[in-house]
A = this chain, B = another copy of it.
Protein backbone atom coordinates (compact mmCIF):
# COMPACT_ATOMS: atom_id res chain seq x y z
CA UNK A 1 0.00 0.00 0.00
CA UNK A 2 2.17 2.73 1.29
CA UNK A 3 4.81 3.75 -1.18
CA UNK A 4 7.03 4.99 1.57
CA UNK A 5 10.26 3.07 1.66
CA UNK A 6 11.01 3.66 5.31
CA UNK A 7 11.73 0.50 7.26
CA UNK A 8 9.62 1.50 10.24
CA UNK A 9 6.52 0.95 8.16
CA UNK A 10 7.62 -2.30 6.60
CA UNK A 11 5.21 -4.82 7.99
CA UNK A 12 6.77 -8.23 8.01
CA UNK A 13 10.20 -7.84 6.48
CA UNK A 14 12.98 -9.80 8.08
CA UNK A 15 15.02 -7.77 10.49
CA UNK A 16 18.10 -6.21 8.96
CA UNK A 17 21.33 -8.09 9.51
CA UNK A 18 24.89 -6.98 9.54
CA UNK A 19 25.09 -8.06 5.93
CA UNK A 20 22.37 -5.67 4.87
CA UNK A 21 24.16 -2.84 6.56
CA UNK A 22 27.45 -3.84 4.97
CA UNK A 23 25.90 -3.98 1.53
CA UNK A 24 24.08 -0.69 1.92
CA UNK A 25 27.17 1.02 3.22
CA UNK A 26 29.41 -0.53 0.63
CA UNK A 27 31.78 -2.08 3.12
CA UNK A 28 32.42 -5.53 4.53
CA UNK A 29 30.62 -6.94 7.52
CA UNK A 30 33.86 -6.83 9.46
CA UNK A 31 33.97 -3.09 9.06
CA UNK A 32 30.37 -2.75 10.10
CA UNK A 33 31.08 -4.77 13.20
CA UNK A 34 34.05 -2.64 14.12
CA UNK A 35 32.34 0.62 13.29
CA UNK A 36 29.36 -0.21 15.42
CA UNK A 37 31.18 -1.71 18.35
CA UNK A 38 34.43 -0.02 19.09
CA UNK A 39 34.79 2.34 16.18
CA UNK A 40 38.51 1.70 16.32
CA UNK A 41 40.68 0.91 13.36
CA UNK A 42 38.10 2.37 11.04
CA UNK A 43 38.11 5.74 9.31
CA UNK A 44 35.97 8.17 11.25
CA UNK A 45 34.02 8.97 8.13
CA UNK A 46 33.42 5.28 7.50
CA UNK A 47 32.20 4.90 11.04
CA UNK A 48 29.80 7.75 10.53
CA UNK A 49 28.47 6.36 7.28
CA UNK A 50 28.01 2.87 8.67
CA UNK A 51 26.21 4.17 11.70
CA UNK A 52 24.01 6.30 9.56
CA UNK A 53 23.07 3.38 7.34
CA UNK A 54 22.49 1.16 10.33
CA UNK A 55 20.13 3.71 11.79
CA UNK A 56 18.25 4.07 8.53
CA UNK A 57 17.81 0.35 8.27
CA UNK A 58 16.72 0.09 11.85
CA UNK A 59 19.48 -2.39 12.41
CA UNK A 60 19.86 -3.93 15.83
CA UNK A 61 22.66 -6.45 16.29
CA UNK A 62 21.35 -9.89 17.12
CA UNK A 63 22.22 -10.50 20.73
CA UNK A 64 21.76 -14.16 20.08
CA UNK A 65 24.37 -14.32 17.35
CA UNK A 66 26.69 -12.12 19.30
CA UNK A 67 26.22 -14.32 22.32
CA UNK A 68 27.11 -17.39 20.38
CA UNK A 69 30.46 -16.05 19.36
CA UNK A 70 31.36 -14.10 22.47
CA UNK A 71 30.11 -16.77 24.79
CA UNK A 72 28.21 -14.22 26.81
CA UNK A 73 24.50 -13.62 26.69
CA UNK A 74 24.52 -10.21 28.34
CA UNK A 75 21.78 -11.36 30.69
CA UNK A 76 21.37 -11.69 34.38
CA UNK A 77 19.15 -14.45 35.66
CA UNK A 78 17.16 -13.91 38.81
CA UNK A 79 15.22 -16.64 40.54
CA UNK A 80 13.02 -15.90 43.48
CA UNK A 81 10.32 -17.67 45.47
CA UNK A 82 7.46 -15.28 44.78
CA UNK A 83 7.37 -12.20 42.60
CA UNK A 84 4.29 -10.91 44.30
CA UNK A 85 5.88 -10.78 47.73
CA UNK A 86 6.62 -7.12 48.47
CA UNK A 87 9.93 -8.06 50.05
CA UNK A 88 11.29 -9.38 46.77
CA UNK A 89 9.99 -6.72 44.44
CA UNK A 90 12.49 -4.03 45.47
CA UNK A 91 15.24 -6.60 45.31
CA UNK A 92 14.30 -7.46 41.76
CA UNK A 93 14.00 -3.81 40.88
CA UNK A 94 17.49 -3.17 42.20
CA UNK A 95 19.01 -6.00 40.20
CA UNK A 96 17.14 -4.87 37.13
CA UNK A 97 18.34 -1.36 37.64
CA UNK A 98 21.96 -2.46 37.87
CA UNK A 99 21.46 -4.56 34.78
CA UNK A 100 20.07 -1.62 32.89
CA UNK A 101 23.02 0.57 33.67
CA UNK A 102 25.31 -2.13 32.34
CA UNK A 103 23.15 -2.74 29.28
CA UNK A 104 22.28 -6.21 30.47
CA UNK A 105 18.97 -8.01 30.27
CA UNK A 106 17.26 -9.74 33.15
CA UNK A 107 15.73 -13.18 32.95
CA UNK A 108 13.33 -13.79 35.74
CA UNK A 109 11.99 -16.97 37.26
CA UNK A 110 9.43 -17.53 39.98
CA UNK A 111 10.00 -20.80 41.78
CA UNK A 112 6.83 -20.56 43.85
CA UNK A 113 8.87 -21.85 46.79
CA UNK A 114 9.33 -25.13 44.93
CA UNK A 115 12.91 -26.44 44.84
CA UNK A 116 12.21 -28.63 41.82
CA UNK A 117 10.89 -25.68 39.86
CA UNK A 118 13.80 -23.58 41.04
CA UNK A 119 16.27 -26.11 39.74
CA UNK A 120 14.48 -26.47 36.45
CA UNK A 121 14.46 -22.72 35.93
CA UNK A 122 18.07 -22.39 36.95
CA UNK A 123 19.16 -25.01 34.50
CA UNK A 124 17.27 -23.39 31.70
CA UNK A 125 18.91 -20.12 32.57
CA UNK A 126 22.47 -21.41 32.59
CA UNK A 127 22.53 -21.33 28.82
CA UNK A 128 21.02 -17.90 28.56
CA UNK A 129 22.42 -15.91 31.43
CA UNK A 130 25.98 -14.95 32.28
CA UNK A 131 25.23 -15.13 35.95
CA UNK A 132 22.46 -16.08 38.32
CA UNK A 133 21.10 -14.41 41.40
CA UNK A 134 19.41 -16.99 43.57
CA UNK A 135 17.12 -15.25 45.98
CA UNK A 136 16.14 -17.08 49.15
CA UNK A 137 17.01 -20.29 47.38
CA UNK A 138 15.27 -23.42 48.62
CA UNK A 139 17.83 -25.64 46.91
CA UNK A 140 20.13 -27.94 48.87
CA UNK A 141 23.69 -26.71 49.16
CA UNK A 142 24.92 -29.44 46.86
CA UNK A 143 22.64 -28.40 44.01
CA UNK A 144 23.62 -24.80 44.37
CA UNK A 145 27.28 -25.69 44.29
CA UNK A 146 26.77 -27.85 41.21
CA UNK A 147 25.02 -24.95 39.55
CA UNK A 148 27.78 -22.58 40.52
CA UNK A 149 30.24 -24.84 38.74
CA UNK A 150 28.49 -24.15 35.46
CA UNK A 151 27.69 -20.47 35.79
CA UNK A 152 28.52 -17.63 38.19
CA UNK A 153 26.05 -17.72 41.04
CA UNK A 154 25.36 -15.15 43.71
CA UNK A 155 23.13 -15.91 46.64
CA UNK A 156 20.79 -13.32 48.05
CA UNK A 157 19.27 -13.82 51.46
CA UNK A 158 21.28 -16.96 52.01
CA UNK A 159 24.87 -17.81 52.79
CA UNK A 160 26.92 -20.68 51.51
CA UNK A 161 30.65 -21.22 51.89
CA UNK A 162 32.51 -20.76 48.67
CA UNK A 163 29.90 -18.57 47.01
CA UNK A 164 29.24 -14.87 46.89
CA UNK A 165 26.31 -13.92 49.00
CA UNK A 166 24.38 -10.89 50.08
CA UNK A 167 22.57 -11.31 53.34
CA UNK A 168 20.80 -9.32 55.97
CA UNK A 169 22.37 -9.39 59.38
CA UNK A 170 19.18 -10.02 61.27
CA UNK A 171 20.81 -10.16 64.69
CA UNK A 172 20.60 -6.47 65.60
CA UNK A 173 17.00 -6.21 64.49
CA UNK A 174 15.78 -9.27 66.30
CA UNK A 175 17.84 -8.56 69.36
CA UNK A 176 16.39 -5.09 69.36
CA UNK A 177 12.90 -6.49 69.09
CA UNK A 178 13.39 -8.76 72.08
CA UNK A 179 14.96 -5.99 74.10
CA UNK A 180 12.14 -3.69 73.15
CA UNK A 181 9.50 -6.18 74.21
CA UNK A 182 11.37 -7.06 77.38
CA UNK A 183 11.61 -3.39 78.26
CA UNK A 184 7.85 -3.17 77.82
CA UNK A 185 7.48 -5.90 80.41
CA UNK A 186 6.83 -8.85 78.13
CA UNK A 187 8.27 -12.08 79.50
CA UNK A 188 6.70 -14.51 77.07
CA UNK A 189 7.15 -13.94 73.37
CA UNK A 190 5.76 -15.95 70.50
CA UNK A 191 7.61 -16.25 67.21
CA UNK A 192 5.64 -17.12 64.11
CA UNK A 193 8.11 -18.78 61.77
CA UNK A 194 7.98 -18.60 58.00
CA UNK A 195 8.53 -21.23 55.33
CA UNK A 196 10.33 -24.42 56.26
CA UNK A 197 13.84 -24.59 54.91
CA UNK A 198 14.33 -20.87 54.71
CA UNK A 199 17.90 -19.90 55.43
CA UNK A 200 16.89 -16.46 56.60
CA UNK A 201 14.25 -18.03 58.80
CA UNK A 202 16.92 -20.05 60.56
CA UNK A 203 19.04 -16.97 61.01
CA UNK A 204 16.08 -15.21 62.55
CA UNK A 205 15.37 -18.02 64.95
CA UNK A 206 18.97 -18.19 66.00
CA UNK A 207 19.11 -14.48 66.70
CA UNK A 208 15.86 -14.71 68.54
CA UNK A 209 16.99 -17.54 70.79
CA UNK A 210 20.21 -15.81 71.67
CA UNK A 211 18.43 -12.60 72.49
CA UNK A 212 15.71 -14.34 74.44
CA UNK A 213 18.27 -16.08 76.61
CA UNK A 214 20.21 -12.98 77.46
CA UNK A 215 17.03 -11.06 78.23
CA UNK A 216 15.33 -13.78 80.19
CA UNK A 217 12.44 -13.91 77.84
CA UNK A 218 10.57 -17.12 77.33
CA UNK A 219 10.43 -17.72 73.61
CA UNK A 220 8.00 -20.04 71.87
CA UNK A 221 8.23 -20.78 68.17
CA UNK A 222 5.34 -21.83 65.97
CA UNK A 223 5.63 -22.81 62.39
CA UNK A 224 6.14 -23.19 59.59
CA UNK A 225 3.71 -20.71 58.11
CA UNK A 226 3.21 -19.26 54.67
CA UNK A 227 4.85 -15.82 54.70
CA UNK A 228 1.70 -14.10 53.53
CA UNK A 229 -1.13 -11.95 54.77
CA UNK A 230 -3.36 -15.00 54.90
CA UNK A 231 -0.71 -16.96 56.67
CA UNK A 232 -0.88 -14.40 59.46
CA UNK A 233 -4.66 -14.31 59.53
CA UNK A 234 -4.91 -18.04 59.78
CA UNK A 235 -2.86 -18.41 62.94
CA UNK A 236 -4.35 -15.34 64.55
CA UNK A 237 -7.04 -17.14 66.49
CA UNK A 238 -4.59 -19.64 67.88
CA UNK A 239 -2.24 -16.88 68.83
CA UNK A 240 -4.98 -15.06 70.66
CA UNK A 241 -6.08 -18.24 72.37
CA UNK A 242 -2.54 -18.93 73.53
CA UNK A 243 -2.58 -15.94 75.79
CA UNK A 244 0.71 -14.55 74.55
CA UNK A 245 1.04 -10.83 74.91
CA UNK A 246 3.69 -10.32 72.27
CA UNK A 247 4.30 -11.83 68.85
CA UNK A 248 7.19 -11.49 66.45
CA UNK A 249 6.46 -12.49 62.89
CA UNK A 250 8.66 -13.87 60.15
CA UNK A 251 7.62 -11.01 57.92
CA UNK A 252 5.40 -7.96 57.69
CA UNK A 253 2.69 -9.66 55.70
CA UNK A 254 2.06 -12.17 58.45
CA UNK A 255 2.07 -9.37 60.98
CA UNK A 256 -0.50 -7.44 59.01
CA UNK A 257 -2.67 -10.50 58.61
CA UNK A 258 -2.48 -11.01 62.32
CA UNK A 259 -3.36 -7.39 63.00
CA UNK A 260 -6.20 -7.60 60.56
CA UNK A 261 -7.77 -10.52 62.36
CA UNK A 262 -7.25 -8.83 65.71
CA UNK A 263 -9.10 -5.76 64.53
CA UNK A 264 -11.89 -7.97 63.28
CA UNK A 265 -12.21 -9.62 66.65
CA UNK A 266 -11.98 -6.36 68.51
CA UNK A 267 -8.66 -7.25 70.07
CA UNK A 268 -6.69 -4.12 70.73
CA UNK A 269 -3.18 -3.85 69.33
CA UNK A 270 -0.98 -3.08 71.16
CA UNK A 271 -3.22 -2.95 74.22
CA UNK A 272 -3.87 -6.66 74.36
CA UNK A 273 -1.26 -7.88 71.93
CA UNK A 274 2.03 -6.46 70.79
CA UNK A 275 2.95 -7.27 67.20
CA UNK A 276 6.36 -7.05 65.57
CA UNK A 277 6.88 -7.55 61.85
CA UNK A 278 9.97 -8.02 59.79
CA UNK A 279 11.33 -6.45 56.57
CA UNK A 280 9.66 -3.06 56.69
CA UNK A 281 8.52 -3.93 53.20
CA UNK A 282 5.33 -1.89 53.24
CA UNK A 283 5.02 1.88 53.35
CA UNK A 284 4.99 3.18 56.89
CA UNK A 285 1.48 3.84 57.93
CA UNK A 286 -0.10 1.29 55.66
CA UNK A 287 -1.03 -0.69 58.72
CA UNK A 288 -3.20 0.53 61.58
CA UNK A 289 -1.71 0.82 64.10
CA UNK A 290 1.60 1.52 62.41
CA UNK A 291 3.63 -1.66 62.55
CA UNK A 292 6.68 -2.02 64.73
CA UNK A 293 9.03 -3.92 62.50
CA UNK A 294 12.57 -5.01 61.82
CA UNK A 295 13.94 -3.17 58.87
CA UNK A 296 16.15 -5.01 56.41
CA UNK A 297 16.31 -3.32 53.07
CA UNK A 298 15.79 -5.77 50.27
CA UNK A 299 16.70 -3.22 47.63
CA UNK A 300 20.13 -3.08 49.22
CA UNK A 301 20.26 -6.83 49.03
CA UNK A 302 19.53 -6.65 45.34
CA UNK A 303 22.02 -3.90 44.75
CA UNK A 304 24.76 -5.83 46.48
CA UNK A 305 23.87 -9.07 44.75
CA UNK A 306 24.10 -7.41 41.36
CA UNK A 307 27.39 -5.85 42.32
CA UNK A 308 28.77 -9.19 43.45
CA UNK A 309 27.64 -10.83 40.27
CA UNK A 310 29.22 -8.19 38.11
CA UNK A 311 32.46 -8.60 40.01
CA UNK A 312 32.31 -12.37 39.77
CA UNK A 313 31.67 -12.23 36.04
CA UNK A 314 34.67 -10.05 35.47
CA UNK A 315 36.90 -12.10 37.73
CA UNK A 316 35.79 -15.71 38.15
CA UNK A 317 38.85 -16.50 40.25
CA UNK A 318 38.30 -13.92 42.94
CA UNK A 319 37.74 -14.94 46.52
CA UNK A 320 34.02 -15.34 47.32
CA UNK A 321 32.62 -12.46 49.30
CA UNK A 322 29.72 -12.00 51.65
CA UNK A 323 28.09 -8.61 51.76
CA UNK A 324 25.91 -7.75 54.69
CA UNK A 325 22.95 -5.45 55.01
CA UNK A 326 22.23 -4.24 58.53
CA UNK A 327 18.91 -4.63 60.25
CA UNK A 328 17.37 -2.60 63.02
CA UNK A 329 14.23 -2.38 65.01
CA UNK A 330 11.83 0.34 63.95
CA UNK A 331 9.52 0.86 66.91
CA UNK A 332 6.14 2.15 65.93
CA UNK A 333 2.66 1.79 67.31
CA UNK A 334 1.92 -1.93 67.28
CA UNK A 335 3.91 -2.69 70.40
CA UNK A 336 3.10 -1.59 73.91
CA UNK A 337 3.41 -2.43 77.60
CA UNK A 338 2.58 -5.91 78.74
CA UNK A 339 -0.67 -6.33 80.61
CA UNK A 340 -1.56 -8.97 83.15
CA UNK A 341 -1.61 -12.24 81.26
CA UNK A 342 -5.03 -13.68 80.68
CA UNK A 343 -5.74 -17.05 82.23
Contact = CB atoms under 8 A, between A and B. Distances in A.
B86 A93 contact: no
Nearest to A147: B8
Interface string A302-323: 0000000000000010000000
Contacts of A9: 146, 149
Interface residues on A, range: 35 or more
Given A64-B128, A92-B83, A286-B256, A107 B149 contact: no
A58 B105 contact: no
A163 interface: no
Task: Count identical subunits in the complex.
Answer: 2
A263 interface: yes
A64 B60 contact: no
A149 B10 contact: yes
B83 A86 contact: no
Contacts of A15: 126-127, 150
B60 A123 contact: yes
A11 to B, nearest CB: 6
A326 interface: no
Contact of A67 (B8, B64, B96, B261): B64
Given A84-B93, A105-B125, A108-B108, A283 B229 contact: yes
Contacts of A65: 68
A127 B261 CA distance: 49
Contacts of A287: 286, 288
Contacts of A260: 283, 285-286
Interface in A118-135: 121, 123-128
Contacts of A75: 107, 128
Contacts of A107: 75, 105-108
Contacts of A127: 15, 60-64
Contact of A8 (B83, B86, B128, B146): B146
Interface of A: 8-12, 15, 58, 60-65, 67-68, 73, 75, 82-84, 86, 89-90, 92-93, 96-97, 100, 103, 105-110, 117, 121, 123-128, 146, 149-150, 228-230, 233, 253, 256-257, 260-261, 263-264, 283, 285-288, 316
Given A15-B127, A63-B127, A83-B89, 18 more contacts: A11-B149, A60-B123, A60-B150, A62-B68, A64-B68, A68-B68, A83-B93, A83-B96, A84-B90, A100-B117, A100-B121, A103-B124, A105-B107, A106-B108, A229-B285, A256-B286, A261-B285, A263-B285
